């Protein structure tokens, strides 16, 4: 059995110019770092255009890429931009993303590159649109939304545009033609840069591990174009919304606000919507993390307008039938099921049925309970084991804020003596575990404190900001991780070149 290891680091968290990580040379440098460290997996967060609070889990499209992650330098290399020092945005703090000025700066540069290349790329973009049926509607949605000042589509002042009356859409297609073309251009460029990075990573033996939110944002092209898929009323407002009940993160539960699915309708259509979505994910990533997998077994439903998630109800989900369809239509999907939270027998039964590895988190392992499912001795082999996820504080922050009992347990489980030793002890414990897949957040590998936490569930603002310091992924750190992988028997399997394989066989004969 191949024992894999990897690092969780979103593209936006890479160092580099323009105030946010991109698909440029820093991404390739990080791939080289992973290769030198003998890592087989690079995990990223959802790659779509960010929505409310800059959350990648509230994207305006389940298919589109985030234009803010396009490499400006690569556009310049293509001859579409003439960059001067005055045009480059220099952030006050290069280790945090300041979204408003970054977006303003980067969008201006993208517009310049579009103007310089639009005519040359027109046929390629039209071909790309023909191959991606979602693109024209997404571009139209994005252009109309910007035209109305960025307000949610259910609040657009033009009711006919909300309801997608064809005569009105035709009017906006004509009126906003240049903006629509720009948004299509952005998606073409993003896809091209992403494919190039994926091919490079795969050539190094590195799999790209993507993240797919189970739910769709209310303010998205998907709810606008296909309202029948969701539990919406006649005005396209959600009847009931997604969330989770009170838990570890929040006494009021988490009110996510996403519209819930009309599973009976999706079933009547042979789950075609899900087949198309998962095919896109399978084309984009080598491994797919399905966020909140619990929701396929049973989902938490809260009335729209509720002040919190305390009074929701659990509803039976599509269960095995959906995955029978997906397996038939898309055999070989490489999925990890995020099964953290309110796991019951129905959830466990569904995961066992699919055979997907679930997830466990070392940060949840500490305390007096010997049956804790997150401790190294209790996790199954078929598991993706994490030091912490994007929703957890860093390992250093975790141990700093442990109770006395938890701290004692953490030291016993991971073997650290001082707080400064704790992050690396977390990494060693996860990589040394029996889990088939071992994942560490880059913040934990670097031993960073709470300021580098990516997201604090139940909060708005101040999330998704962290960026890795330039030079942090050093050759010395790669060597340290490579040794750890060797000690933990997590080396990548590398195929022998054909010539070497032929020579080896001849020698044996």
Residue from 256, 282, 246, 323 nearest 58 by CA: 256
Which residue bears the tokens 């729209």? 304
CB 467 within 8 Å of CB 14: yes
Q: Could you count the other beta carbons within 10 Å of the beta carbon of residue 182?
A: 21
CB 299 within 8 Å of CB 317: yes
Residue from 59, 212, 64 nearest 139 by CA: 64
Residue 338 is among the residues annotated as catalytic for this protein: yes
Residue from 421, 462, 137 nearest 411 by CA: 421
Residue from 6, 117, 123 nearest 70 by CA: 117
CA dihedral 23, 25, 29, 31 (to 10 degrees): 30
Per-residue 3-state assignment (H helix, E strand, C coil) for 2-14: CCEEEEECCHHHC
Catalytic residue, chosen from 179, 291, 339, 444, is 291
Rounded Cα distance, 10 and 466, in Å: 9
| Residue 240: burial class (beta carbons within 10 Å; 0-12, 13-18, 19+) | buried
How do strand 313-316 and strand 298-303 relate by DSSP bridges?
Answer: antiparallel
Catalytic residue, chosen from 179, 219, 338, 339, is 338
**Residue 209 CA: distances (Å) to CA of 34, 72, 199:** 13, 24, 13
Catalytic residue, chosen from 391, 406, 470, 496, is 391
Reported in sequence order, the residue ranges of 260-325 that DSSP labels E, i.e. its strands, are 287-290, 298-303, 313-316
Residue from 74, 56, 73 nearest 65 by CA: 56
- The residues annotated with a catalytic role in the active site are 291, 338, 391
């Amino acid at each position: 059995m191949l024992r894999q290891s990897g690092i969780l680091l979103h593209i936006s968290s890479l160092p580099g110019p323009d105030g946010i990580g991109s698909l440029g040379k820093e991404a390739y440098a990080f791939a080289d770092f992973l290769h030198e460290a003998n890592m087989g997996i690079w995990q990223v967060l959802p790659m779509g255009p960010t929505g409310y609070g800059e959350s990648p889990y509230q994207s305006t499209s389940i298919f589109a890429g985030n234009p803010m992650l396009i490499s400006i330098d690569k556009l310049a290399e293509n001859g579409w931009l003439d960059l001067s020092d005055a045009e480059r945005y220099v952030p006050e703090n290069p280790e945090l993303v300041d979204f408003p000025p970054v977006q303003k700066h980067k969008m201006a540069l993208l517009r310049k590159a579009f103007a310089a290349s639009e005519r040359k790329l027109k046929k390629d973009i039209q071909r790309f649109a023909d191959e991606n049926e979602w693109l024209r509607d997404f571009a139209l949605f994005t252009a109309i939304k910007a035209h109305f000042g960025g307000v949610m589509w259910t609040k657009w002042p033009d009711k006919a545009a909300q309801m997608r009356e064809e005569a009105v859409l035709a009017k906006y297609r004509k009126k906003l033609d240049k903006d629509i073309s720009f948004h299509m251009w952005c998606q073409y460029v993003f896809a091209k840069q992403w494919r190039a990075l994926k091919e490079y990573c795969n050539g190094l033996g590195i799999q790209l591990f993507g993240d797919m939110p189970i739910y769709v944002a209310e303010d998205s092209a998907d709810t606008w174009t296909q309202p029948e898929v969701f539990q919406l009323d006649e005005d396209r407002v959600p009847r009931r919304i997604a969330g989770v009940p009170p838990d570890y993160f929040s006494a009021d539960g988490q009110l996510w606000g996403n519209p819930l699915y009309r599973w009976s309708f999706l079933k009547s259509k042979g789950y075609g919507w899900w087949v198309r979505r998962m095919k896109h994910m399978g084309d984009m990533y080598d491994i797919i993390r399905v966020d909140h997998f619990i929701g396929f077994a049973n989902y938490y439903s809260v009335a729209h307008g509720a002040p919190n998630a305390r009074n929701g109800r659990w509803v039976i989900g599509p269960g095995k039938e959906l995955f029978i369809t997906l397996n038939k239509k898309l055999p070989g999907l490489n999925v990890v099921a995020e099964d953290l939270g309110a796991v019951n027998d129905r959830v466990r039964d569904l995961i066992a049925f699919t055979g997907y590895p679930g997830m466990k988190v070392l940060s949840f392992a500490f305390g007096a309970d010997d049956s804790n499912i997150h401790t190294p001795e209790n996790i199954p082999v078929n598991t993706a084991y994490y030091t912490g996820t994007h929703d957890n504080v860093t390992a250093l922050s975790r141990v700093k804020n442990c109770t006395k009992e938890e701290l004692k347990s953490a030291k016993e489980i991971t073997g650290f003596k001082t707080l400064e030793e704790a992050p690396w002890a977390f990494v060693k414990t996860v990589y040394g575990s029996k889990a088939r897949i071992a994942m560490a957040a880059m913040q934990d590998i670097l031993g960073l404190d709470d300021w580098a936490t990516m997201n604090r569930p139940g909060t708005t603002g101040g999330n998704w900001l962290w960026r890795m310091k330039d030079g942090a992924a050093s050759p010395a750190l790669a060597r340290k991780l490579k040794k750890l992988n060797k000690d933990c028997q997590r080396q990548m399997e590398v195929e022998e070149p054909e010539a070497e394989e032929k020579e080896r066989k001849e020698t044996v004969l």
